[in-house]
Chain A
Amino acid sequence: MGTPVLRIYNCVVDQHDIALVAAAATICVLGCYATFVLLQQASGRSGRERRRWLAGTAVAAGISAWATHFLAMLAFEPGVPAGYEPLRTVASFVLVIAIAYPAFALAAGSRGLRAAVAGGLAGLGIAAMHYLGMSAYRLAGDMVWDWPAVVASVVLGAALPMAALWAAALHPGRAGRLAGTGLLTAGICALHFTGMSAVLVLPDAAAALPDGALSAGWLAPFVGLGALAILLIGLAAAGLAVREGQRELAEAARTRSLVDAAVEGLLLCDGDAVVTANRSVQLLTGHDMPWFTGRPLREIIRPEAAIAALLRGDGGTEELELLANGGEAIPVEVVSRPFQHAGSTRRVIAIRDLRDRRRAEERIRFLAHHDPLTRLPNRAGLATELTRALDLRGRHGGPFAMLALDLDRFKAVNDTLGHAVGDVLLSKTAARLRNALRAGDLVSRQGGDEFMVVQFEPTQPEAATRLAERLVELLARPFVVDGHVLNIGTSIGIALFPQDGADPATLMRNADLALYRAKSDGRGAYRFFEEEMDTRMQRRRLLEVELRTAMTMRQFHLLYQPQLSLDSETINGFEALIRWRHPQGGIVSPADFIPLAEETGLIVPIGEWVLREACREAAGWATPATISVNLSPVQVRSPGLVEVVRSACMSAGLDPKRLELEITESVLLTGSDATLETLRQLKALGARISMDDFGTGYSSLSYLRSFPFDKIKIDRSFVGDITSNGDSAAIIRAIIGLGRSLRMETTVEGVETAEQLAHIRAEGCDQAQGYLIGRPLPAEAAQAMLAQPRAA
């Protein structure tokens, strides 16, 4: 048996009790495992706690080495009586723990060379324990040492623990513990058995066991108890470690589920390679976890140039693209932050899907530029598209036409059948318009029932004429909505680029002006813009501004035209007539500004002023003559008229019975119940209601029946030729007769000659008004007239 390995084998197998050797090895494994469990606990801690765990580590390592040694010694069968010197035996135990403590203190939390050096120190400590222990071994004979084998045992005893601690430091977990346990166990065993194989026992039968040596049998329970203690410590430590491991696992699972539950995608990166990806990123990209592991970021995030900055970033957001499985580039918002993980710096990249936001932005942009009902561009959308089209064609591209459309009878449909039907009608109108246009032309809904069409066709005005004719014809065709047949039709105003305007705004305005003309010329027509329309519109606009000024600057005044009672031959009433003293233009006739005032709604405040002024004036008259005030249809429809009349009478102190309100047939034309209700309330106040200008317009008898008027005023046109024209005379006679039978008074307007007056008096008319009786007078003159009753 020449080779050392064989000698060790023989030493173990021939000279030892194998059962005890196995027990020693078991205890050694358990103890070593406990050592590493405790060492790992110490590594993660500091201060007092660390020292406590380190002490545990040193004790576990010391006991395992020491117990292994003595159990193995008990298994050793030298063939002669043997025993142990107690002091040295105890000293060897203390020595190993004393050396193990600093060794593990050095090892805890360190890696590489430091851990290896610590391992070497621990190994030397164990070797020292072994040989101190051997020096306590007493037997009946001599021990002869094979020195090379001794050296080999020390080398192995130091080298294997070095490897053990170095390996354990590599993996701070179960793998590290197991590797360390294996190598340290190997180290302890190698030291022991190599060391034992270096001993040659030369028995001396004469020699007796020296004094003071304890017998091996006495030692057995002591070592057994030690082993048990180690076992318990080992188990407890293992238990702790298992619990710790479970906690780590649970912690990891919790972290993982938290990471997976995150709505945002999370990528964990080491350098530019992905370590892990949460479920959100997997769902977002369609790639699974194995695909991500180790994948460089440049295969996931675009553009590649942004990745370097991303890996340097600290919390700033960037909008990049994420590459999905199908090759789709998903717009994402990315935030990257560094974080510490197991002593090294890693990076977490949070990824937010921007597609929903982009869609919402797209939708908002669409809504801002389109009419949701017809899905046509709206006013803003047209401006944008027009600008784009013009840019495309060049600012000085060919001519084009802008057509402003307005549905002719849309309001009636909306008012009678409701908005739902009106909305469907607008959608169907939009569909017909789309149908009638070429690709490249534009159509928009400007609001309400107004549409705008842009025709890019160089042969103008011929092309626009054809298109306008086509559109008028197309929209004149009836629509059917919910079984209702609706005839609406359209009017169109056309402005041409470049002669009618160089920019979209001017063109639209001028097309609108032409539309205004088309509508007032009779609907279902189209008109081209003309310069004159603009001037007229500007004049109109100026007048509107001046009219507003007139209200505030008190440029209005009233004149009073007398009315003669043909019964009493006295002046028994005046009609209040408004005049406007324009600062530059002199007196403006009501015919020139009342229509505009009605259109703009200014008639309401102007009318109120007239009512209050007339009532105030009439209240001061010498006789209780009536005061007639004209009401415009707009005024009658305006809410609050009844209240205005009541308040005008009250504040003036005028008996409402003296107030006569004149309306024309047009007030009744709309025939709404609200209008009749207003008239009824006015009458209930005590005011009288008269029908003005009767005989012109519709002169419908049904109007006379629809409301109990107090008076009919016969239009001035009949009295003019009453003496020469039999028809006029007949009409006046008929109306006077009608009034008498309906119990309504009659007044003839425009009486200028004595013959006319005589004639109507003969017909039985109640009252006369006209230049013969008196022209419209200033307030003072009217007062004077009442104070001195004129003789007929």
Chain B
Amino acid sequence: MTQIALFRLIYRSTVAIPGTPDQVDQELARIVERSRRRNAEATLTGALVRSGGTFIQVLEGPLAGLEETYDRISGDLRHSEFELIEFVPVAERCFGSWELAYLAEDPIERSRHPAAPDPALESIAAQIRRLIANGPRGPRRAEHEAADALAV
């Protein structure tokens, strides 16, 4: 791999896809499918965790591709209560070769497949928990001071 600066973004948002739960699931499956293809093209890796109506997504890769993908995600109206947790330079990737690991931590989904937890997915879930637990390094929401427009 060449020495291109790597960045990582983490955001949290709430699903805002209209329709029945089945339709929402189908739409999500389509989004994940498309994302994986695009991420592969932009050499991005990461994971998408869904817990009920909440998304947490981690994406990492070269800045240009990551920023372009972020532009698309941040302009998407199919989710709301969007919160950018971090967008920071990192030394190395956390998600190796995963174009987009998808974890649906839906309780109902779980109960349907009580056995056979995938060890790889479990380790990714643990990874994300660790990343988020490391503290919100994201933007502070200061409204008054102009300099706060540039939170890092």
Contact = CB atoms under 8 A, between A and B. Distances in A.
A416 B63 CA distance: 21
A625 B152 CA distance: 53
B146 A478 contact: no
A412 interface: yes
Interface stretch (B39-47, B74-82, B98-106): B74-82
A413 B151 CA distance: 11
Contacts of A478: 74, 84, 87, 139, 151
A415 B149 CA distance: 11
Contacts of B74: 432, 477-480
B75 A474 contact: yes
A409 B144 CA distance: 9
Q: How big is the B interface, by class?
A: 20 to 34
Nearest to B141: A487
B84 A412 contact: no
Contacts of A482: 63, 67
Given A435-B75, A435-B77, A524-B143, A483 B150 contact: no
A487 B7 contact: no
Interface in B24-79: 63, 67, 70-71, 74-77
Interface in A151-186: none
A474 B77 CA distance: 8
B115 interface: no
Contacts of A436: 75, 77
A432 B75 contact: yes
B70 A480 contact: yes
Contacts of A522: 143
Interface in A191-219: none
Given A412-B146, A477-B82, A485 B75 contact: no
Contacts of A487: 139, 141, 148-149, 151
Interface string B132-152: 000000110101001111111
Contacts of A524: 143
A50 interface: no
B139 A485 contact: yes
A16 to B, nearest CB: 100
Contact of A412 (B71, B75, B87, B150): B150
A486 B149 contact: yes
A428 B77 CA distance: 15
Interface in A398-442: 409, 411-413, 415-417, 428, 431-432, 435-436
B75 A483 contact: no
A363 interface: no
Nearest to A434: B75
A41 B9 CA distance: 93
A412 B75 CA distance: 22
Interface string B114-142: 00000000000000000000000011010
A412 B67 contact: no
A486 B71 contact: no
A434 to B, nearest CB: 9
Interface in A450-478: 470, 473-474, 477-478
Contacts of B70: 480
Given A479-B74, A487-B149, 10 more contacts: A413-B149, A435-B77, A473-B82, A482-B63, A483-B7, A483-B63, A483-B67, A483-B87, A483-B89, A487-B141
Interface of B: 7, 9, 63, 67, 70-71, 74-77, 80-82, 84, 87, 89, 138-139, 141, 143, 146-152
Interface of A: 409, 411-413, 415-417, 428, 431-432, 435-436, 470, 473-474, 477-488, 522-524
27 contacts: A409-B146, A412-B149, A413-B149, A416-B147, A416-B150, A417-B150, A432-B74, A435-B76, A436-B75, A436-B77, A470-B77, A473-B80, A477-B82, A478-B84, A478-B87, A478-B139, A478-B151, A479-B74, A480-B9, A481-B67, A483-B7, A485-B84, A485-B138, A485-B152, A487-B139, A488-B149, A524-B143
